[in-house]
């Protein structure tokens, strides 16, 4: 098999560690061995790293025993006396690196009676024993870095024969030549161990280090066709050279690159380093703005919200408006609906009066639209659609593309909730189209998932299932969390009564997630579990799970408060009907209907109306039930959902049978059965069998057979 070795991963950043995890997960069909070496303290910071990767084995490397250490020393010093071996064993304490350095120091000075007491002391004694040219080369190379290059050393090192010095250092095991070089037409070397480099670097006087760092940076700027490729290296050298302004420029360049690579902590760290070097309030303000905007773009919304909230009082003009919009998005994705609306309203007012109005007003309007949709009070969804349309329809092409993708996504949501499925489908398409920026990945996935929900609403179930499975595949391929797109996938599954599969998926997400700054996926998944259990006839499970989930939803300050609690109220009414509790069904159906009408959510207005009509029927109020259900039939036809079109007709048939007779009831059942057969004809054979066997479907078909 191929073996991939990652050494010293205790030095690795989050991006590299995530990359290793991604590779392990995505090459399971190939014969590849991944070997990662780290110090024990690595697991203190990441105690579960590797636990989720299939086939992982952890092998602790204990210190060498006395016998093992003696064997190593004997192989390195073949003519060593027993007493010498015993001295090295006793001093090294089983540390292989210490053993190697002690043996090397003995090789350099065979007559020495004293052994260094630490690894650093052993290395230091070896450095002191070097000839002048070799010592100078080693010390100067330590300034360049753990990895260094011949041409750089020759330029900054003041050496008569750099090749001879490097050969000497190689022969003594202090540096090693690399077979390949990251710098074209140059030879790459590295220190054999980081402690060798650190010890050599610590030997140099501070003034000498500064001069050498400046010389190294100047050489790299001259020699490299694009110095920005190694901006972080140049920033380090200019900082150590005492040139903060040059260091800041490269730190900012490097931060932009790490942001483009979606490396959150590295980006924050680079901006913070630049901030520490800034000399003026103006410079610090500019860096803080970049840092805050980057955090918002990298989805670290809680940190962005704090950073930008503290900074906006110091800003004016376009900078202030952009900061407010980013702060508002951060408020959105930390579920602060009032904060989003307040911030967005201010951004809109400022953008209206700004000289860059055409540029800044559309994203401010889109943000305000999202705030209305999140709050969900009476008239808010209509306001959201109108405000959002003003924003996305006037957007300057090529500007703020990640905010545009989010704007389209929110418009798709609002249109879907209002029952405008054709509009929602178009906005989902535009969302996916606009999500070319890596920072828009979340909205690429949401757009693909929303497409599935809308197609299911239109009765195009097989297309819907393909769309949501594609969204999940894209998320996996991108290494993105699949929580939200998996939640999307369960809607079409429940609509075709594939409740067992929907239950498995929703349970997985509900168990995986927990309370956070953004609770919607977690609470939504729990509501989905309840909905699937209701279809499966698991009424006891619904009764147990309902109270806490409902309380969590109604306690939210965002979508859950009206969107999820409205769903759950309708589910509770249906549960009461199934358990023959008409009075409770009336109460919950009435509550669900009132909530749906306030928010304008057409689908749940139909569901609640149907449940209310059925509860009235069960209560012996056939006339009121018929009126309620006839309204539901008209609304279902207007919505265009085949599922609700046949369900409302089936419920109406039962309501009117006692008062209008068998013929009127059977006519409605026949219409319901016709719609069901159209659905079955469009489903795959497997899905059609499952759909037809669902009890409420089977009862309608049996009634007209």
Least confident of 17-31, 323-337, 691-705: 17-31
Which has more pLDDT, 10 or 166? 166
Smallest CA-to-CA distance from 64 within 17, 34, 29, 97 is with 97
Per residue in 570-607, pLDDT (tens digit) is 999 999 999 999 999 999 999 999 999 999 999 999 99
The model scores a pTM over 0.95 = no
pLDDT at 116 over 90: no
Kindly report, residue by residue over 124-159, the tens digit of the pLDDT.
888 988 999 999 999 999 999 999 999 999 998 778
CA separation for the pair 482, 505 (Å, rounded): 11
Q: Give residue 180's pLDDT.
A: 86
Q: pLDDT tens digits, residue range 362-411?
A: 999 999 999 999 999 999 999 999 999 999 999 999 999 999 999 999 99
Q: Is the pLDDT of residue 112 over 70?
A: no
* Chain centre distance of CA 105: 50
Q: What is the pLDDT of residues 37-96, one digit of tens each?
A: 888 888 877 777 777 677 788 888 888 888 888 888 888 877 767 877 887 888 777 888
Judged against a pLDDT cut of 80, whether residue 118 lies above it is answered with no
pLDDT of 111 over the 60 cut: no
Confidence grade of residue 288 (pLDDT, cut at 50, 70, 90) = very high
**Which residues neighbour 165 within 8 Å (Cβ) at sequence distance 6 or greater?**
133, 134, 136, 137, 159
**Given this model, what pLDDT does residue 684 score?**
97
What pLDDT does 72 receive?
86
Question: What's the rounded Cα separation, in Å, for the pair 597 and 611?
Answer: 15
Choice among 190-199, 412-421, 610-619, 669-678 with the minimum mean pLDDT: 190-199
55: number of Cβ within 10 Å: 8
Give every CB contact of residue 634 below 8 A, 6+ residues apart in sequence. none
∠ CA(403), CA(406), CA(408), 5° rounding?
110
Chain-wide mean pLDDT for the chain?
92
What is the rounded CA–CA span in Å between residue 556 and residue 519? Answer: 9
Q: Measured between alpha carbons, how far is 605 from 672 in angstroms, rounded to an integer?
A: 19
Sorting pLDDT into bands at 50, 70 and 90, what band is 114?
A: low
pLDDT higher than 70, residue 498 = yes
For residue 555, the tally of other CB atoms under 10 A from its CB is: 12
Q: Return the closest-CA partner of residue 336 out of 310, 373, 362, 374.
A: 374
Q: Rg of the chain over CA atoms, in angstroms?
A: 34
Residue 560: predicted pLDDT: 96
Are 330 and 301 in contact by the 8 Å Cβ rule? The answer is yes
CA terminus-to-terminus distance, the chain: 63
CA 595 distance to own-chain centroid: 32
What local confidence, expressed as pLDDT, does residue 538 receive?
A: 97
Which pLDDT score is estimated for 262?
Answer: 85
pLDDT band at 185 (very low <50, low <70, confident <90, very high): confident
Q: How confident is the model at residue 439 (pLDDT cuts 50, 70, 90)?
A: confident
Strand order in the sheet with 188-191: 147-149, 188-191, 175-177
Distance of CA 324 to the CA centre of its chain: 23
**Tens-digit pLDDT profile for residues 198-223:** 999 999 999 999 999 999 999 989 88
Predicted pLDDT at 356: 96
Helix axes 582-599 and 565-578, enclosed angle (nearest 10): 160
The pLDDT, as a whole number, for residue 115 is: 64
């Amino acid at each position: 098999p191929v073996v991939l070795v990652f050494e010293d991963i205790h030095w690795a950043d989050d991006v590299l560690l995530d990359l290793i995890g991604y590779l392990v997960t995505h090459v399971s069909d190939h014969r590849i061995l991944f070997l990662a070496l780290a110090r024990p303290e690595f697991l203190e910071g990441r105690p579960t790293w590797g636990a989720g990767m299939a086939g992982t084995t952890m092998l602790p490397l204990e210190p060498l025993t006395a016998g093992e250490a003696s064997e190593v020393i004997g192989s390195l010093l073949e003519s060593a006396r027993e007493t010498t071996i015993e001295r090295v064993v006793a001093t090294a304490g089983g540390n292989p690196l210490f053993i190697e350095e002690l043996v090397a120091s003995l090789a350099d000075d065979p007559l020495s009676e004293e052994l260094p007491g630490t690894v650093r002391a052993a290395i230091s004694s070896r450095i002191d024993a070097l000839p002048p040219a070799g010592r100078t080369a080693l010390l100067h190379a330590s300034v360049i870095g753990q990895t260094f290059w011949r041409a750089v050393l020759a330029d900054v090192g003041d050496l008569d024969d750099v090749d001879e010095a490097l050969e000497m250092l190689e022969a003594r095991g202090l540096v090693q030549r690399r077979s390949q070089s990251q710098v074209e037409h140059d030879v790459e070397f590295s220190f054999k161990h980081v402690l060798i480099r650190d010890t050599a670097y610590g030997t140099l006087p501070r003034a000498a280090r500064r001069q050498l760092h400046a010389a190294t940076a100047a050489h790299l700027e001259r020699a490299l066709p694009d110095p920005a490729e190694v901006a972080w290296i140049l920033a380090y050298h200019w900082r150590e050279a005492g040139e903060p302004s040059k260091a800041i420029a490269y730190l900012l360049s490097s931060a932009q690159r790490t942001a483009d690579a979606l490396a959150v902590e590295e980006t924050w760290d680079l901006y913070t380093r630049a901030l520490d070097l800034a000399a003026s309030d103006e410079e610090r303000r500019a860096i803080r703005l970049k840092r805050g905007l980057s955090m918002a773009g990298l989805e670290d919304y809680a940190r962005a919200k704090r950073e930008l909230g503290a900074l906006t009082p110091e800003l004016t003009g376009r900078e202030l408006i952009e900061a407010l919009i980013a702060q508002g998005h951060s408020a959105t994705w930390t579920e602060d609906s009032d904060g989003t609306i307040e911030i967005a309203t201010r951004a809109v007012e400022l953008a209206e009066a700004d000289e860059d109005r055409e540029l800044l007003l559309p994203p401010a309007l889109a943000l305000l639209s999202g705030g209305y949709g999140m709050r969900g009070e009476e008239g808010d969804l209509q306001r959201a659609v109108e405000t959002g349309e003003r924003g996305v329809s006037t957007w300057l092409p090529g500007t703020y593309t990640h905010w545009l993708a989010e704007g389209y996504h929110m418009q798709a949501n609002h249109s879907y909730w209002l029952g405008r499925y054709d509009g929602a489908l178009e906005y989902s398409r535009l969302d996916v189209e606009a999500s070319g920026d890596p920072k828009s990945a979340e909205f690429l996935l949401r757009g693909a998932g929303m497409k599935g929900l809308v197609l299911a609403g239109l009765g195009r179930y097989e297309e819907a299932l393909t769309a949501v499975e594609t969204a999940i595949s894209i998320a996996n391929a991108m290494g993105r969390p699949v929580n939200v797109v998996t939640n999307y996938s369960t809607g079409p599954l429940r609509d075709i009564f594939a409740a067992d599969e929907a239950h498995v998926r929703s349970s997985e997400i509900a168990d995986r997630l927990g309370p956070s700054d953004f609770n919607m996926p977690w609470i939504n998944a729990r509501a989905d579990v309840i909905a699937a259990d209701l279809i499966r006839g698991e009424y006891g499970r619904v009764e147990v799970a309902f109270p806490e989930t409902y309380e969590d939803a109604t306690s939210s300050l965002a979508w859950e408060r009206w969107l999820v609690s409205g769903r759950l109220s309708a589910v509770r009414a249906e549960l009461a009907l199934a358990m023959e509790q008409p009075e409770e069904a009336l109460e919950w159906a009435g509550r669900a209907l009132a909530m749906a009408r306030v928010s304008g959510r057409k689908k749940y207005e139909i569901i609640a109306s149907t449940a209310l009509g059925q509860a009235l029927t069960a209560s012996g109020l056939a006339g009121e039930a018929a009126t309620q259900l006839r309204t539901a039939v008209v609304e279902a036809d207007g919505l265009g959902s085949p599922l609700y079109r046949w369900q409302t007709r089936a419920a109406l048939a039962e309501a009117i049978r006692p008062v209008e007779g068998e013929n009127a009831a059977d006519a409605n059942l026949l219409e319901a059965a016709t719609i069901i057969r159209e659905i079955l004809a469009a489903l795959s054979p497997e899905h059609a069998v499952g759909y037809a066997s669902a009890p409420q479907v089977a009862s309608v078909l049996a009634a007209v057979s």
